[in-house]
Amino acid sequence: MKVVYDKVKDGVRILRCFGYDGQVELPDRIGGLAVTELGPYAFSELVRRQTPGEKYLVEVTGGQTDGACRMTERPDDGIRLDGGLADEGSACYGKALDPGEDLVGAEALADGTPALGGDALRRVRLPGGLRKIGAYAFYNCARLERLEIPSSLQDLGAGLFTGCHGVEHLTLWMLPGKSCLKEVLAEFKQTLRVDCLEADGRLKAKLLFPEYYEESIENTPARILTQEMHGCGHRYRNAFSGTQFQYLVYDKLFPHIQVQEKPELVTELVLGRLLYPVQLMEDRRQIYESYAASHGKEIFRIAKREKDPSLLRAAAEASWCGEACLEAMLEAGRDAKDPQALGILMAVRHRRRVKQAGLGADMDRASGRDDGKSLAPEPKRRRRFSL
């Protein structure tokens, strides 16, 4: 992937990305400088605002940190971006663009590499040191599905995710300081699944925020417009105290989603809270467990949709998953003709039955009903034959 960027006071600002696979993973550093900003209209198909100043073009390799930018060959007009601090073998060279060369608004580079933006964008991972995103950075990225951002974002531009109706998953790195989760959630009205990760990459919580929409109704005699809210998503998006997410408020909203949403979506929310019970109170746990135990088929469908056998196994082995719940999952697996899922569920059922049989034998011995003789095999009788 190649990026166009310029330098700001505290680091580097990404202005445009070029690539083929629709996936963007921006590096944490370019030429020894931290990537701290994403420019306005950075991933929009149409760029309506340009930033003045000197710009650079460089090729980056995602996932690396310092020294993550490199060219395949040192350009003749290249400049060393790391200020000579790195060894010659790991030096980072970039091409300084001509002031009249407009690559920020270009649809492709001279070598044919297309711009990553608009409908071409599928997934984006922003660096952990990012502090600011310019206005309309993701304008009309209708096919954007997954977004991974740090919680430490401080400045979100206007209209940031306008037209991004396809976003379904948000991964949030929980870093120290104020969280931007509330501001980001306000940008999306569709159903959004949020994975909260610790700084070391461990999954802390899985949250689901249902969709909602507003409707304006005209009251002609009174000459006023009244706003009506549909869906319970706005309630879940307000489960905050300042910028801190409140799990207790989130859990208390369960009756609303239980009435207004489909059972499969409700079950998905319940599973996320039961498998990652951050600040989950005992009374709320019991409500969630009771609901999940009566929706075995929905559990199977969620695991199949997510292609996550570990989710199916964890639910089947949970203490709240009774015989009826397990049989419902097995029935759904047989209907779907999924041999892998059936193997997992049948193995869990077999272990349960073996355990129950062992507990039954222990109880018989403890009560004196079994003196141990019944465990010894009866001797076989010899049959005598006469001619």
Please say if the pLDDT value at position 334 is more than 50. yes
**pLDDT band at residue 357, thresholds of 50, 70 and 90?**
confident
Q: 10, 34 in Cβ contact below 8 A?
A: yes
SS3 279: coil
Q: What is the pLDDT of residues 1-18, one digit of tens each?
A: 899 999 988 899 999 999
**φ, ψ at 125 (rounded to 5°):** -120, 120
Average pLDDT over residues 122-135: 94
Please say if the pLDDT value at position 75 is more than 60. no
Instruction: Give the gyration radius of the chain's Cα atoms.
Output: 29
Contacts of 231 (CB under 8 A, 6+ apart): 210, 211, 212, 213, 260
Point out the least confidently predicted range of 124-128, 195-199, 215-219: 215-219
Q: 267, 258 in Cβ contact below 8 A?
A: no
Question: What is the distance between the alpha carbons of residues 154 and 313, in angstroms, rounded to a whole number?
Answer: 39
To which residue do tokens 């650079």 refer? 56
| β-bridge pairing 155-156 and 146-150 | unpaired
Please say if the pLDDT value at position 320 is more than 60. yes
Q: What percent of the chain has pLDDT over 90?
A: 60
Please say if the pLDDT value at position 142 is more than 70. yes
pLDDT at 383: 61
Q: What is the pLDDT of residues 11-53, one digit of tens each?
A: 999 999 999 889 999 999 988 899 999 999 999 988 877 777 7
Q: What is the pLDDT of residues 366-384, one digit of tens each?
A: 656 555 554 455 556 666 6
**pLDDT band at residue 68, thresholds of 50, 70 and 90?**
very low
| Residues 172, 178, 182: CA angle, nearest 5 degrees | 60
Please say if the pLDDT value at position 92 is more than 90. no
pLDDT at 25: 93
List the beta strands (DSSP E) in the chain.
Answer: 2-8, 11-18, 23-25, 29-30, 33-38, 56-59, 78-80, 93-96, 123-125, 132-133, 146-150, 155-156, 169-173, 192-197, 203-209, 213-219, 224-230, 240-241, 244-245
What is the residue-wise DSSP string for 221-262?
TTTEEEEEEESSHHHHTT-EETTEE-HHHHHHTHHHHHHHS-
**pLDDT band at residue 165, thresholds of 50, 70 and 90?**
very high
pLDDT at 271: 96
To which residue do tokens 């980056």 refer? 60
| Residues 293, 295, 300: CA angle, nearest 5 degrees | 110
Question: What is the distance between the alpha carbons of residues 143 and 284, in angstroms, rounded to a whole number?
Answer: 36
Q: What is the pLDDT of residues 242-297, one digit of tens each?
A: 999 999 999 999 999 999 999 999 999 999 999 999 999 999 999 999 999 999 99
What is the residue-averaged pLDDT of the chain? 84
SS3 173: strand
To which residue do tokens 């009560």 refer? 367
Greater confidence (219 vs 194) lies with 194
Average pLDDT over residues 102-122: 86
List the one residue out of 281, 216, 221, 220 whose CA is nearest residue 251. 281
Please say if the pLDDT value at position 225 is more than 50. yes
